[in-house]
Chains A and B, each alone.
Chain A
Amino acid sequence: MVRGVLAGVRLQLILYRQYPDSFIPLMTAPLYTIIFVMIVRHGGRADLSGYAVVAPAFISLWWFALFHGGLVVNSDRWSQTLELHVAAPTSFPAVIFGRILTVTLVGQLSFVEVWLVGKYLLRTPIAIQHPGVLTATLLATAFAMAATALFMACLFVLVRNAFTMTNSISYPFYVLGGILVPVALLPGFVQPVSRLVFLSWSADLLRASLSAAPVADVGFRLAMIVLLGAAGFAVAADLMRRVVQRVRNTGELGLR
Chain B
Amino acid sequence: MRHPARTLRIMRYAFLSGAQDYASIYTWKSWLGGWFVRVLSQVVFFALIGKLLRSDQQTWYLLVGNAVMLAAMEGIWALNLVNWERDSGTLQLLAASPSNPVVVFAARGSYLIADGLASSLGALLVVGLLFRLPLPWPRVLLVIPLTLLVGASGYCFGTFLAGILIRARNLNGIVSNVGIITFMTLCGVNVPLAAYPAPVAFVAKFVPLTHGLVAIRDVLAGNLGPVAGQAGLEAAVGLAWLGLCLVTFGRFVRHGRRDGSLEFAN
Chain A interface (Cβ < 8 Å from any Cβ of B):
19-21, 24, 27-28, 31-32, 34-36, 38-40, 42-45, 48, 51, 161, 164-165, 167-172, 174-175, 180-182, 185-186
Contact = CB atoms under 8 A, between A and B. Distances in A.
Given A28-B181, A42-B191, A171 B52 contact: no
B51 interface: yes
Contact of B190 (A39, A51, A165, A167): A39
Closest A-B pairs by Cβ, 6 of them: A21-B173, A171-B41, A43-B53, A168-B34, A181-B48, A168-B38
A91 B208 CA distance: 52
Contacts of A43: 50, 53, 55, 58
B191 A39 contact: yes
23 contacts: A19-B170, A20-B170, A21-B171, A21-B173, A21-B174, A24-B173, A24-B177, A27-B177, A28-B181, A31-B184, A31-B185, A35-B185, A36-B49, A39-B191, A40-B49, A42-B195, A165-B34, A167-B34, A171-B45, A172-B41, A174-B45, A175-B44, A180-B49
A186 B131 CA distance: 12
Contacts of B170: 19-21
B35 interface: yes
Chain A interface mostly: helix
A180 B174 contact: no
Nearest to B184: A35
A251 to B, nearest CB: 25
Nearest to A29: B181
A31 to B, nearest CB: 4
B45 A175 contact: yes
B178 interface: yes
Interface residues of B, number: 35
A172 B174 contact: no
B25 interface: yes
Interface in B90-112: none
Chain B interface mostly: helix
B261 interface: no
Nearest to B194: A42
A48 B51 CA distance: 13
A51 B41 contact: no
Given A31-B181, A51-B52, A175-B48, A38 B38 contact: no
B45 A38 contact: no
B26 interface: yes
A108 B7 CA distance: 51
B223 interface: no
A37 to B, nearest CB: 10
B81 interface: no
A172 B38 contact: yes
Counting chain B CB atoms within 10 Å of each CB, which of A20, A42, A170, A182 scores highest?
A42
A167 B44 contact: no
Interface string B212-229: 000000000000000000
Given A24-B177, A172-B38, A174-B41, 13 more contacts: A28-B178, A31-B178, A31-B181, A35-B184, A35-B185, A36-B49, A38-B191, A39-B53, A39-B62, A39-B191, A168-B37, A171-B41, A172-B37
Contacts of A182: 52
A45 B53 contact: yes
A24 B172 CA distance: 11
Interface string B34-73: 1101100110110011111101001000100000000000
Interface in B166-188: 170-174, 177-178, 181-182, 184-185
B164 to A, nearest CB: 16
Contacts of B185: 31, 34-35, 38
Contacts of B30: 161, 164
A170 B44 CA distance: 13
B174 A164 contact: no
A20 B53 contact: no
B219 to A, nearest CB: 22
B35 A167 contact: yes
Nearest to B25: A164
